């Protein structure tokens, strides 16, 4: 692995070396490293590109890293990763995609991740997207996440895109069964002429199912963002969706929260706020000795922390 690839790996998965536990590293369209454990198996799909990750019931305190890096300009791929998480398991899955493009052609990773989370299992899923390179070729990442939560299961999805991805369409479709809960935290920063679209749909089908979808984003320069969040309450359930965006320069943000109650005991809330950094926030930090630019950076860093 060269320095560029190591840098990408660090940016998307905080990895300086091979991770502990199970992992599969995909670099430029090929699996370049894989380790399985007694409880976690990783198998290459035979019918299409991608892997199956099978986690045994009751597996606890283990992690799986499946980072994807593309350093070859112009490489485009569509990958299917399926996660089968056994009942009562409690695991952390770290994914993410980093693209370095120093060429003229578009580099693109489209990933379809499907999670089947068994009864009373808990999954923390961390996903980071990052791009760099000085070529004119676009860096495009389109993740599609499908989540099926069985009775009593819970999943926390932390998805972050901070830098360098020119275009992204991030789709998440989830169904939540009795007593299951889904938490999504999205952090997004776009700059230059980037475009990002987020599209969450959560079906709260189960009795006492719940969902909390929180997005914080910053749009700089001429970038454009579109945020759609739909929560459908089809049973006695609790749903909350919140989009909070800081707008800068000539950027544009569109937020469309949608809550649909199809059951009398569905309790659903949506909140959306878009605005520039409040002048009084800048002034407060400047009275502590920061310059206006430093104050702006601190406010954005805190907001996206």
- Is 290 an interacting residue with respect to another protein (CB under 8 A)? yes
Question: Which residues lie below 8 Å from residue 177, measured CB to CB, with a gap of 6+?
Answer: 149, 150, 151, 153, 205, 206, 209
DSSP-assigned letters across all residues of 28-60? TTEEEEEE--SSEEEEE-SSSSEEEEEE-TT-E
Q: Least distance (Å) from another protein to the CB of residue 278?
A: 7
Residues in 186-225 that interact with another protein by CB under 8 A: 216
Task: Rule CB under 8 A: say whether 298 interacts with another protein.
Answer: yes
CB count within 10 Å of CB 134 equals 8
**Cβ 302 to another protein, closest distance in Å?**
4
Shortest CB 168 distance to another protein, Å = 22
Q: Does 286 bind another protein (CB under 8 A)?
A: yes
Here the tokens at position 26 are 């995909």
Q: Which is nearer to another protein, 18 or 283 (CB)?
A: 283
Size of interface with another protein, in residues (CB under 8 A): 22
> By CB neighbour count within 10 A (0-12 exposed, 13-18 middle, 19+ buried), where does 278 fall?
exposed
Q: CB-based contacts of 174: which residues, under 8 Å, 6+ apart? A: 146, 147, 148, 149, 182, 200, 201, 202, 203, 211
Q: Which is nearer to another protein, 48 or 305 (CB)?
A: 305
- Tell whether residue 303 is a contact of another protein (CB under 8 A): yes
Stretch that binds another protein, among 23-31, 49-57, 168-176, 295-303 (CB under 8 A): 295-303
Residues 245-284, mask of contacts with another protein (x by CB under 8 A): ---------------------------------x-xx-xx
The one among 64, 244, 247, 260 contacting another protein by CB under 8 A: 244
Shortest Cβ distance from residue 97 to another protein (Å)?
25
Instruction: Tell me how long the chain is.
Output: 305
Alpha helices per DSSP H over the chain: 3-13, 279-286, 292-303
Shortest spacing between CB 295 and another protein, in angstroms: 8
Residues 6+ apart with CB under 8 A from 148: 114, 115, 116, 117, 174, 175
Chain contacts with another protein (rule: CB under 8 A): 216, 244, 278, 280-281, 283-292, 298-299, 301-305
């Amino acid at each position: 692995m060269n320095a560029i690839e190591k840098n990408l790996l660090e940016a998307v998965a905080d990895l300086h070396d091979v991770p502990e536990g199970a992992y599969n590293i995909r670099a430029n369209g090929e699996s370049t490293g894989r380790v399985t454990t007694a409880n976690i198996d990783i198998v290459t799909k035979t019918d299409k590109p991608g892997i199956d990750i099978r986690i045994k019931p009751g597996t606890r305190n283990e992690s799986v890293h499946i980072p994807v890096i593309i350093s070859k300009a112009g490489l485009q791929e569509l990958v299917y990763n399926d996660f089968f998480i056994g009942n009562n398991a409690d695991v952390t899955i770290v994914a993410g995609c980093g693209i370095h493009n120093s060429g003229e052609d578009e580099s693109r990773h489209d990933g379809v991740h499907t999670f089947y989370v068994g009864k009373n299992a808990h999954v923390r899923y961390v996903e980071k997207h990052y791009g760099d390179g000085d070529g004119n070729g676009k860096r495009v990442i389109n993740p599609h996440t499908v989540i099926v939560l069985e009775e009593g299961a819970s999943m926390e999805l932390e998805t972050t895109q901070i830098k360098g991805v020119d275009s992204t369409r991030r789709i998440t479709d989830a169904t939540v069964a009795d007593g299951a809960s889904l938490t999504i935290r999205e952090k997004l920063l776009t700059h230059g002429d980037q475009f990002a679209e987020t599209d969450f749909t959560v079906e709260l089908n189960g009795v006492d199912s719940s969902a909390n979808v929180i997005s914080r984003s910053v749009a700089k320069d001429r970038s454009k963002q579109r945020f759609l969040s739909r929560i459908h309450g089809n049973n006695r359930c609790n749903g909350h969706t919140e989009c909070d965006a800081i707008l800068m320069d000539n950027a544009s943000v569109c937020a469309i929260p949608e809550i649909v109650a199809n059951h009398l005991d569905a309790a659903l809330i949506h909140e959306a706020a878009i605005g520039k950094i409040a002048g009084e926030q800048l002034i407060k930090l400047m009275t502590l000795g920061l310059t206006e630019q430093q104050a702006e950076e601190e406010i954005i860093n805190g907001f996206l922390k």
